[in-house]
Amino acid sequence: MAYKITEKCRNCGECFKVCPVGAINKETQKHEINSELCISCGSCAAVCPFGAPIEKE
């Protein structure tokens, strides 16, 4: 299981700063999560002001 970033992302960069495993790519048009690196810690969802990261089903 991993998290993904939805269309609500406004590229504020907060999630990138807190991800402990470097799973978030900020070079893409919207921030994206590499599901192979994500350990589902939930930190990105906790800091996102826009509720963009969600747990994938």
CB of 21 to ligand SF4, least distance (A): 5
Q: Is 13 in the site for ligand SF4 (CB under 6 A)?
A: yes
Q: Is 25 in the site for ligand SF4 (CB under 6 A)?
A: no
CB of 49 to ligand SF4, least distance (A): 6
Question: Nearest-CA neighbor of 2 among 34, 27, 24, 43?
Answer: 34
Question: Nearest-CA neighbor of 53 among 3, 17, 18, 16?
Answer: 3
Q: Is 42 in the site for ligand SF4 (CB under 6 A)?
A: yes
